[in-house]
Amino acid sequence: MGPELALGFPAAGAVLAAALRRRPALALLCGGLLGVAGALALGLLWLPPAQTSFLGLGLPAAPRALLIFSALALTLVVALAPAGADRVGLLAAGLAGSAGLVAVAAAPDVLAVAVVIALLAAGHAALPGGRPFAVRMRGPGLAVALVLAGVLLQHGGDAPAFARLSALALVLALVAAAGLVPFLPELDPEEPAPASPVAWTGFFGPALAIAMVARIQPTVGPDGAPVYGALLVGLGVLNLAWGTLGAWLAEGDVAAWRYSFLADWGLALVGLGIVVPDGYAAAYLVLASVLLVRFPLYLWARPVLVGRAAGAMGPANVLLAAALAGAAPFAGFSIRLLLLRAATTVYWPLALVLGLGMLVWLAHSLRLARTLGAPRGRAAVGVVLALGFSLLLGVAPALMLALGGL
């Protein structure tokens, strides 16, 4: 019953939090307890007896670990949300998203993944926000269409062209599902955080991507593998360049934050495309750091981003800038080492391109750190915790990798 409970608890929590919205304390208590129960059920899946499933579901280790990091990130952002934030809304949306992500990770085939993405995206697009529903559904809708096309092509015939086209469609689906270049959604800086594309890319995207890769990669086959790898690396480099330059040169700070997520995703895509263990490990760590460090920091920067507080550049901000830039001993450093090692193993000029991208990275980190202002109260606790996670990912990557079975 383990996977069913891991899916059922957050789903029930989301339902209760939504139903009890007019009683915020009760909604937070019920939703929080069920969310914690869901995270515990996920944690217990490391024990083989808990892995038996009444519905025949299975959760691979790496997506499972990222799901736990998602739960941790949700706990952080709800418990330590800035003053004035809609905590019940955040919790309900986060729990519903977590349940959806568990469903994606547990989905037995790619078609089931498409159905869950459609549901997850529709739920996210239905949240109150500035952009019309149809506009918000465009990217995920395209992802679902591409997944369906990819699955159909897999059944199209034995010719290598079908396998290659299928790999092409599935990789593009992955990128569209995460909301990355070239399928970048519109950004409305005024939009509430849960409904914004940044929340999609920063919170839903990481577990979604790892779960999709776990389902897609085995179906690609030897004919599709070169297309799969090359396209992921190519799109990764594109996102890295777009993200680092965009975060540096963008006019608004919200846009700069969004581009900084793209840069992280660029590294993750390259890691997934270099089909060697170090590359996959680097991708996993990047996505973990997006969940545990960058996404919570973005939410704590919201008061400055929406003009409710002033930016500042104190000693804490300098430390944050170092963490966001990937300086040692924070998360980015070990990730970059792993990725450069993997790139050197496969094709050394790629390491050169990546190295250049990482150098440009420094430019925008100070800008982003400034938007966190002078954190006080709950936000200060949150910033310290995010820095702690970044440090943990940086100094003990082996521990985090072991959690993901890597």
Partner 1 sequence: MPWEDLGAHLLALLIYPGGLAALALGLAAEIGAAWALVPERGGLAEAARGTLRALRLQPMNLAPLAAWAWVLALAAASQLAAPFNRVPPAERNSLVAAAALLGATWLAWSWGWGRRAASPPLVLAVQACWLLAVLLPSLGPGNLRPQALGAVVLGGQVPLKLACGVLYLACLPALLMLLPESAPQGPPGAVARPRTPEEAGFGVLRVLLWMPACGLFTSLFFPSADDALGLLRFLVVTAGAAAVAIAVAANLTRRPAGVTRLLYLRLALPFAGFSVLVAALTVVFIH
Cα atoms found within 13 Å of the Cα of residue 298, Cβ hemisphere only: 30
Distance, CA of 313 to CA of 321 (rounded, Å):
10
23 in contact with partner 1 (CB under 8 A): yes
102 touches partner 1 by CB under 8 A: no
Single residue of 151, 180, 320, 350 touching partner 1 by CB under 8 A: 151
Exposure b/e, 133-142, CB count within 10 A at least 16 = b: eeebbbbbbb
Taking CA atoms, 88 is separated from 30, 190, 204, in Å, by 11, 19, 18
Question: Is residue 33 a contact point for partner 1 (CB under 8 A)?
Answer: no
The reply to whether 142 sits near partner 1 by the rule CB under 8 A is no
CA quadruple 300, 305, 311, 313: dihedral, nearest 10: 60
Name the one range near partner 1 by CB under 8 A: 111-119, 167-175, 261-269, 379-387. 111-119
Q: Which is nearer to partner 1, 215 or 367 (CB)?
A: 215
Alpha helices in 107-204 (DSSP H): 110-125, 133-154, 160-178, 197-199
* Segment near partner 1 (CB under 8 A); pick from 18-26, 218-226, 351-359, 365-373: 18-26
Among residues 91, 101, 114, 393, the one that binds partner 1 under rule CB under 8 A: 114
Q: What are the structure tokens assigned to 132, written together?
A: 């019309």
CB contact set of 168 (below 8 Å; sequence gap of 6+): 227, 231
Q: How far is the CB of 313 from partner 1 (least distance, A)?
A: 41
Going by C-alpha positions, the residue among 11, 8, 32 that lies closest to residue 87 is: 32
With CB under 8 A as the rule, give the number of residues binding partner 1: 32
In this chain, which of 5, 6, 7, 20 binds partner 1, going by CB under 8 A? 20
For partner 1, give the closer residue by CB, 15 or 391.
15
The amino acid sitting at 47 is L
Residue of the chain from 50, 122, 142, 230 that contacts partner 1 (CB under 8 A): 122
Q: Is 112 in the site for partner 1 (CB under 8 A)?
A: yes
Does residue 118 interact with partner 1 by CB under 8 A? Answer: yes
Q: State which of residues 33, 52, 55, 359 lies at the interface with partner 1 (CB under 8 A).
A: 55
CA angle 350, 354, 360 (to 5 degrees): 150
Per-residue tokens: 331: 């998360």
Q: b vs e for 176-215, b when ≥16 Cβ sit within 10 Å of the residue's Cβ?
A: bbbbbbebbbebbbebbbbbbbbbbbbbbbbbbbbbbbbb
Token representation of residue 378: 């709950």
To partner 1, the closest distance from the beta carbon of 20 in angstroms equals 7
Q: How is 245-258 classified by DSSP, letter by letter? A: HHHHH-SSHHHHHH
Residue type, 43: G
34 near partner 1, rule: CB under 8 A: no
Give the nearest distance from C-beta 103 to partner 1 in angstroms.
7
Give yes or no for residue 119 binding partner 1 (CB under 8 A).
yes
In whole angstroms, the minimum distance from the beta carbon of 175 to partner 1 comes to 21
Spell out, one character per residue from 152 to 181, where the chain touches partner 1: x when CB under 8 A holds, - when not: x--x--------------------------
The answer to whether 133 contacts partner 1 (rule: CB under 8 A) is: yes
Shortest Å distance, C-beta 96 to partner 1: 10
Query: What residues line the site for partner 1 (CB under 8 A)?
Result: 12, 15-16, 18-23, 55-56, 103, 107-109, 111-112, 114-116, 118-119, 122, 126, 128, 133-134, 144, 148, 151-152, 155
